[in-house]
Amino acid sequence: MARSKGVTIRDVAQRAGVSIAAVSMALNGTGTLSAATRLRVRAVAQEMEYQADALARGLRRSSVGAIGLVMRSLDALGEYAPRGVDVFTRYIGAASAQAMDRGLSVMLVPDPTKRPTPPLALSLDGYIVTMPHVDDPVIDLLERRGIPYVTLGRDPSRPDFTDWATEDDGSSFGRIYEHFAASGARSIVLLRGTDPNAWNIDSEATYRAWCESAGITPRVYTSAERAGERGGERGGENIAHAIVDDGIPDAILCHTGRQAAGVLSGLTARGVAVPDRTMLAAASDSEHTRHSRPAISAVELHAAETTLALLDLLQARIAGEPSAGPVLTTARFRVRASSRRTDTNARCSPGRED
């Protein structure tokens, strides 16, 4: 993928209608420019994404031996160390260790479209962007700057883009629904997030298709990821009350462990026994699912397998080689007490038991 040459101080000067010296003074806070001119030049520089750092300018055309990692789900959440959620640290750790084996460093970059942008953010060799959103401004920025990138999860706005990898979520979700059905479930609820990414969009499509094939009426509820610390749990508790009010289902699948822990708390408060009356599972394992009582069945993502595929795709893209994506990796559904019914007449479903 050919990189753009970047915006120069001359480009900014021409756009703003001032001299190069005036641009330098405006950006460095020196000289005797009027306040209006200084503000106008700075606005033009920001609009053009001009990078004034001399080191960054010099590195734009050469390899720096480092790649960026943008966690879009954490950007949207507004916190970068959510309590009890370890899936993100698994991805970060796996990508960093594997990159080091290839002689690369990994730089964690918060949303690079927000100001101030880290000085070297737009000089990295390439990016891994996790769970891009519909019309994601981060992807738009990387496209404009000609910076190679790959994505964890497909880009819902770019169906022709194939340099992505993820766990085979469709297979994992289907396995959970079959597990519920094998244990007698005839009404199944899906609780998903609201971020406009492929995980939320595709999971609902998979759920509705499965319900149609099974002759089950779909019931979809949503809980925003942006609620903050304990927000996922509180959201889950509130949704649990709404679900019960609408009719107690035989099973509930929540996207996240925080949602599932909250739903468990809400069901318990309403006197709904788990798993005897309602089975419960999560599509992403976490401390919440492992430490709940009963422990909650969940999908364990194999971060190392996925990040390995992403690094392969990114290095090929940097080298200008044809895409070998998309790549689907495997995940494991761990059956725990929250969906393991003791009824001896219920069939056992596939999955590893903890």
Is residue 302 within 8 Å of 272, Cβ to Cβ? no
Give the CATH class of 62-167+303-326: alpha beta
Among all chains, which residue has been given the structure tokens 């009824």?
Answer: 343
DSSP helix/strand/coil, 324: coil
* pLDDT over 50 (residue 166): yes
pLDDT bin (cut points 50, 70, 90) of residue 47 is confident
Digit-coded pLDDT (tens) for 93-149: 999 999 999 999 999 999 998 877 776 788 899 999 999 999 999 999 999 888 999
CATH class of 169-301+333-353: alpha beta
Q: Report whether pLDDT(351) > 50.
A: no
Closest CA to 286 of 257, 252, 260: 257
Q: Of 263, 318, 266, 261, which Cα lies nearest the Cα of 295?
A: 261
Taking the C-alpha atoms of residue 225 and residue 284, their distance in angstroms, rounded to an integer, is 14
Q: What is the mean pLDDT of the chain?
A: 86
Q: What is the pLDDT of residue 206?
A: 97
Phi-psi region of 316 (alpha: psi -120 to 50; beta: other; left: phi over 0): alpha
**62-167+303-326 shares its CATH topology with 169-301+333-353:** yes
Look at residue 51 in the predicted model and tell me its pLDDT.
63
- Tell me the C-alpha distance between 202 and 15, whole Å: 43
Which band of pLDDT confidence, cut at 50, 70 and 90, is reported for residue 62? Answer: low
Mean of the pLDDT values across residues 244-248? Answer: 97
Q: Out of 15-29, 317-331, 334-348, which region has the weakest mean confidence (pLDDT)?
A: 334-348
In DSSP notation, 61-112 reads TS--SEEEEEEHHHHHHT-SS-TT--HHHHHHHHHHHHHHHTT-EEEE---T
| Residue ranges per structural domain of the chain | 9-52, 62-167+303-326, 169-301+333-353
- DSSP track, 11-44: HHHHHHTS-HHHHHHHHHT-SS--HHHHHHHHHH
Rounded Cα distance between 59 and 227, Å, is 39
Tell which wins on pLDDT, 144 or 315. 315
